[in-house]
Amino acid sequence: MLSLWLGWVFWVLPLAGPGAAVTDEQVLGSLLQQLQLSQAPILDRVDVEGVAIPNHVRSQYVALLQRSHADRSRGKRFSQNFREVAGRFLVSETSTHLLVFGMEQRLPPNSELVQAVLRLFQEPVPRTALRKHERLSPYSARARVTIEWLRVREDGSNRTALIDSRLVSIHESGWKAFDVTEAVNFWQQLSPPRQPLLLQVSVQREHLGLGTWSAHKLVRFAEQGPPGEEGRGEPQLELHTLDLKDYGAQGNCDSEAPVTEGMRCCRQEMYLDLQGLKWAENWILEPPGFLTYECVGSCLQPPEALTVMWPFLGPRQCIASEMTSLPLIVSVKEGGRTRPQVVSLPNMRVQTCSCASDGALIPRGIDL
């Protein structure tokens, strides 16, 4: 095992990329889009000299500033370590099964999730049962297995989210794998103390036709039959995680140190001076400029033996994993008069830099 970790290398990245600092062209483009303008307005100094910013406009601007430090767009999650969690069938019926996994302390601290795999053991169908469906074609002798994340709200109501769905043959048996990464991401968004991870497994009829109406009932997973049945296996949840001590970014860059190729991924201060831009003159009243930041440096790559497990993931890059908005007060000229207006531009300031693989899924947010 030790020899695998000796294969680590650094992937040196150019400074421009998904973590690059916001440019004045991007600010202008976003501002024009928000105000539905085709080009920046040309305002004379006399147009804005007598303009006073009312208290309600200034209060709105300050509130957006404060909110921008709390609201962050979410970035990618991924991982390379492996843990396995044994689960059990909480409820089991003919075609619907509820699995429960105790997740507390299963995910290591200071780590991110790359993949969660649910493994279910499909039991072999008895020969006597197969004879009743021997006339079915291989295409018809299939059932659809659907995995949903189930959350029980405080008021007792349920919420489900479709996680994975695939076809299985009634003639097959053995372990079946389902990607439930998004379900674990949903679970991580719950406020502690969190309820156990609940996964609902449904086996449904895929094709209508003569003799196919009951074929899906032959698809059975372990823990449904009587104890002692040969080939039984508990449902397993495999958690693949990344230790951010080795694979993560280091936070903010050292302002005194120069940027070098071998430097670890970090967030570097960059200042955009709006007062020095010709198109912003007399148009943007606040702020005169702002810190945009950018992500620079390199990220540690996993050994080749591990990357084979996830061929869909590209090299890990230093990217902006969290962005915040930028509120502005601009001059708007209507009917010969000029008034101030607050505009919020999304994703203008880098809040956090992380190492992420191209191709890693961005988890959906849930309505908590």
**276-302 pLDDT per residue, tens:** 888 888 888 888 888 888 999 888 887
Higher pLDDT, 310 or 114: 114
Report the percent of the chain where pLDDT is more than 70.
72
Q: What is the pLDDT of residue 158?
A: 82
Q: Give the mean model confidence (pLDDT) for residues 202-216.
A: 65
Q: Annotate 106-131 with b (16+ C-beta within 10 A) or e (fewer).
A: ebeeebbbbbbbbbbbbbebeeeeee
Question: What confidence score (pLDDT) does residue 11 get?
Answer: 29
pLDDT of residue 265: 92
The one-letter code for the residue type at 190 is L
- Of the pLDDT bands very low, low, confident and very high (cuts 50, 70, 90), residue 367 is low
Neighbours of 145 (CB within 10 A): 24
pTM for the full predicted model: 0.60
Residues 311-323 have a mean pLDDT of 80
Q: Using one digit for the tens of pLDDT, what is the confidence trace for 150-198? A: 888 878 788 888 889 888 888 888 899 998 988 998 888 888 888 899 9
CATH number of 8-77+244-357: 2.10.90.10
Nearest partner of 200 among 232, 162, 173, judged by Cα = 162
Q: pLDDT tens digits for 18-50?
A: 667 788 898 999 999 988 888 888 887 777 777
d(CA 280, CA 24): 9
Is 13 a residue whose pLDDT tops 60? Answer: no
CB 269 within 8 A of CB 295: no
Give me the pLDDT at residue 67, please. Answer: 78
Give residue limits of the domains in the chain: 8-77+244-357, 88-234
DSSP for 6-64, written as a single string:
TT-EEE---SSSTTPPPPHHHHHHHHHHHHT-SS-----HHHHTT----HHHHHHHHHH
The pLDDT of residue 360 is above 80: no
Q: Which residue has the higher pLDDT, 211 or 62?
A: 62
Task: Report, as an integer, the average pLDDT of 342-363.
Answer: 80
> Tens of pLDDT along 57-99?
888 888 888 777 655 554 443 334 444 455 554 444 457 888 9
What is the per-residue pLDDT for 75?
43
